[in-house]
Chains A and B, each alone.
Chain A
Amino acid sequence: MSVEARERRQPWILLSPALTAIGLLLFVPLAFIVVYSFWLRTASGADQVGFYLDNWNEALTDPFYRDILFSTLRIAAITTAACAVLGYPAAYFIARSDGNKALLLLLLMLPFWISYIIRTMSWINILGVSGAVNWVLLTLGLTSEPVQMLYNEPTVILGLVHFLLPFMVLNVYVALEGIDVSLEDAACSLGSTRWQAFREVTLPLSLPGLAAGGLLCFVLSAGTYITPLILGGPTDAMYANLVFEAIITQLNWPLGSALSLMLLAVLGTLVLIYNHYLGMGQLMKGLG
């Protein structure tokens, strides 16, 4: 075999385990879901094999599903905005600290050592009827009855922010780390105050990191079902809860498949729009 032929083959040989895994574990199951979404669940509970558009019709036109899709996107947007506002200063602090950055980053990663579900449930011990906040309020005599603070949209957002903040901080941190500190010094020497230098130079240069973190927070929060399940009330279902409900509770795989593909399509479109304006490279950098 010629050297050129060997060199051309080499990357494919190295990639083949990963490609096989992605193919078998992602694309094949996805194909099943697509096929399922055109089947029909009959009253008897059996799935009728065929090509029916009923599930898609329901997913696309039922106002109940549509409203939940919009409220899911709204919750994801608010969560993303909150993560950006809270995460940026933290990332800036870590990137510019003279001290032990490795330690600060380790502290940032620390929550990942505890299960996401347990972290979410910890809010019950803080905000619940017999939680820490109510204990303080009752002890101080500020209230005579425990206040119910859980099981509404704000607590769902709180839980999501708690979960997603490190992703935002990491992405912004990576972007800030890549900015030469002397740029701000140069801006100041030219007459801008520290704040003007930040607005004119550092902030615009860190926007790709902020956008990457934002996309990650948005996609992850729009696809969650555990947080609303634990911290939301009966009316706070998000779109992924519908999928969970259809597949796990009602065993209606065809409808669940159509709903999950809907969510995939909506989020996929948003990612494509993002990619068009900002490029995927930044997201990769943020993750790596």
Chain B
Amino acid sequence: MGAVSLTNIVKRFGSFTAVHRMSMDIPEGSFVTLLGPSGCGKTTTLRMIAGLIDPTEGEITIKGQQVNDVPIHKRNLGLVFQNYALFPHKTIAQNVAFGLKYRNLTKADMDRKVRDVLDLVQLPHVAERYPKQLSGGQQQRIALARAIVIEPDVLLLDEPLSALDANLREDMRVELKRIQQRIGITTVFVTHDQSEALAMSDRVVVMSDGRIEQIGTPEEVYNTPASEFVSRFLGISNILDATCTELTADGLSLELPVFGRITVPKDRAPHVEGPGPAKLVIRAEKLLLADSSQAMEGRLALDGVVEAVVYQGQAARYFVRIGDRQLQAINMINERPFQEGETVSVRFRPRDCAALPGASA
């Protein structure tokens, strides 16, 4: 049994069901991310673990103990909010020491713990300041320090980085992960940002409409999406209707218009059970555009026309027409990006593709 486990959790608000019969186990010491678009139930799930809202049905256990009826202040959790929620009328030291007051410590122990945790978040010099005097990133570190200084059983982070600007957010990802690994705390992280989820997590729980779409390592959810939702939500994918004709030891044979027959490795299509309607998933960055003259081994090549180009600096995003389909490709720019209207050779390796079951709708 994990550090936190949810069993058949249902949360209804009136007639609206925010979370549908959800079950998951969060292993001790792991960093688990609940990822999904807004309204998918990820924050509701976090708030149920925290004890801020009660599940309508189901059981929540923390370290093997059922906590459904344990009030939040007795759950021993560290909670970090999107807006930091630092107490504006208390100094940083008082903010950090807040939770220690309820834990029967001597004054000396409290002071030492506050100092240690401020060192850990690399802000030892701000103890006497007030939250307003700190930058957003510093406030975020203090919120984290306040949550972990009480040595909680689980650390719960509700979109903690989304209020920071882009560069700082990248730095804080690294910082947060460093601190989490250093103290080895079980962490549940809620975000709608796929790159955060992929960069930081041991396991990603992709959610949509109050249901779990897939649980897996970042590579698993990225490379082997369990559903069309997952493949669309993580990165940019081209999803094409196909027919699975054969399941062999080599892999899965798919028949598509224009593309012809493509064999996808079996481990990239674990959810396809046999011949029938299926979907071919090609990541935008696996689709390479090239001049027709250049030769490339092991790749399928199709002729296409560039219809639009979005310049992104080191890369470019292309919208390419192949037959009656428009596909997206993201390629590093080599000397110059392809231009609108240019005829290009679109190439990809079948082993980079994934397949999903699906009715050809």
Contact = CB atoms under 8 A, between A and B. Distances in A.
B150 A190 contact: yes
A189 B146 CA distance: 10
Contacts of A185: 50, 52, 72, 79, 81, 85
Contacts of B102: 190-192, 196
A62 B81 CA distance: 62
Contact of A189 (B77, B88, B101): B77
Nearest to A184: B85
A74 B130 CA distance: 38
A188 interface: yes
Contacts of B77: 189
Contact of A205 (B52, B79, B89, B147): B89
A183 B98 contact: no
A180 interface: yes
Interface in A11-34: none
Given A186-B79, A189-B78, A192-B73, A180 B85 contact: yes
Nearest to B146: A190
Interface in B54-72: 71-72
B243 to A, nearest CB: 51
Contact of A186 (B71, B76, B81, B101): B81
Interface string B81-117: 1010101110000000011011100000000000000
A193 B89 CA distance: 19
Contacts of B81: 182, 185-186
Contacts of B72: 185, 188-189
A196 B74 CA distance: 13
A205 B75 CA distance: 26
Given A185-B85, A201-B87, A191 B79 contact: no
Please report whether the interface of chain A is mostly helix, strand, loop or mixed according to DSSP.
Answer: helix
Nearest to B74: A191
A208 to B, nearest CB: 10
Nearest to B77: A189
B50 A189 contact: yes
B103 A205 contact: no
A189 B155 CA distance: 11
Contacts of A201: 87, 89
A189 B150 CA distance: 10
Contacts of B101: 191
B145 to A, nearest CB: 12
Contacts of B150: 190-191
B73 A193 contact: yes
A187 interface: yes
A199 to B, nearest CB: 12
Nearest to A204: B89
A193 B73 CA distance: 6
Contacts of A180: 83, 85
B98 A187 contact: yes
A186 B88 contact: no
B88 A191 contact: no
Contacts of A193: 71, 73
Interface string B143-154: 000110010000
A201 B131 CA distance: 14
A191 B99 contact: yes
A24 B97 CA distance: 56
Given A182-B85, A183-B85, A189 B103 contact: no
Contacts of A196: 102
A183 B83 CA distance: 10
A223 to B, nearest CB: 32
Interface of B: 50, 52, 71-79, 81, 83, 85, 87-89, 98-99, 101-103, 146-147, 150
Given A185-B50, A186-B81, 11 more contacts: A180-B83, A182-B81, A182-B83, A185-B81, A186-B146, A188-B72, A190-B99, A190-B102, A191-B76, A191-B103, A192-B73
> Which 8 pairs across A and B sit closest by C-beta, in order of nearness?
A190-B99, A191-B102, A189-B79, A186-B85, A182-B85, A188-B72, A182-B81, A188-B73
14 contacts: A180-B83, A185-B72, A185-B85, A188-B73, A189-B50, A189-B78, A189-B147, A190-B98, A192-B73, A192-B102, A193-B73, A196-B102, A200-B98, A201-B87
